[in-house]
Amino acid sequence: MAERLVTLETDGAIGIITLRRPEKFNALDIPMLRALETSLDEAEMADGVRVVLLRGEGKGFCAGGDVEAWAQMSAADFQVQWVRYGHRVFDRLARLRQPTIAVLSGHALGGGLELAAACDFRVAETQVKLGFPETAIGVVPGWSGTQRAVRRFGAQTVRRMALGGEVLVAADALALGVVDRVVETGKAFDEAKAWAEKIAERGPLATEAAKLMIAVAEGEESAAATEALASGFIALTGDLKAGVGAFKAKQKPAFSRA
């Protein structure tokens, strides 16, 4: 069996998703996106996993979309198979129930920065560069670089990268709020893991609920988050138990406010 392009490992309460295409600096193509989606589904369902780290194998975090993978696509296939599917996978990451930390031990450019932006936090090493270079080759950011990135980093910062072609070094990215912490080369994973362990000590249900509420305020979630929060509340009351018990017994439920 071929080695998976994206893997999920667990270390106590920490899930570690690793992009494994180092020869291409973890550039994303359709098989990579599918593998990432599978790993995200596995992380969502993993018992006891309270925080998820996302990292890249080798020298790069993620070089973005693999140009060779989409350059020969028809306009229709580019829109549906590439842009829309990529959005679906990135949205899956952004809406993961657990807090997420992008471990930037290598550059995050184009789709790589969009991937990092879909995480809740970003830890970068000092040598890392970040930017949206797409317009230099006649395309535009297609995986939420002009949407989620604007909400999270601010429109002017995204303008500097997407329109002006500015590539940020880690220190400048920290000052602009594009990354949350900057550490020495080789230290990003350890820093992110230590941070994740502290997050994992907090109340898991409260942390998940807080993430959902922040997502609603940010415009990342709305209807699904409202229903998830309401359903979770109801599940903790006696209504669900009384209703299901009565359904199984083919009786009328006796609800109470207790």
User: Among candidates 61, 56, 37, which has minimal Cα distance to 131?
Assistant: 61
CA gap 200, 194 in Å, rounded: 10
Give one DSSP letter per residue of 72-113, joined into a string: T--HHHIIIIIIIHHHHHHHHHHT-SS-EEEEESS-EETHHH
User: Among candidates 81, 61, 58, 54, which has minimal Cα distance to 69?
Assistant: 81
User: Among candidates 102, 84, 75, which has minimal Cα distance to 30?
Assistant: 84
Contact (CB, 8 A) for 39 and 17: yes
- Which residues are within 8 A (CB) of 215 and not within 5 positions of it... i.e. 6 or more apart? 94, 95, 221, 225
Active site residue 184: no
Contact (CB, 8 A) for 123 and 179: yes
Active site residue 114: yes
Task: Identify the active-site residue in 3, 9, 57, 114.
Answer: 114
- Which residues are within 8 A (CB) of 227 and not within 5 positions of it... i.e. 6 or more apart? none
Task: Identify the active-site residue in 57, 125, 134, 221.
Answer: 134
φ/ψ of residue 17, rounded to 5: -95, 125
> What single-letter amino acid sits at 224?
A
Which residues belong to the active site? 114, 134
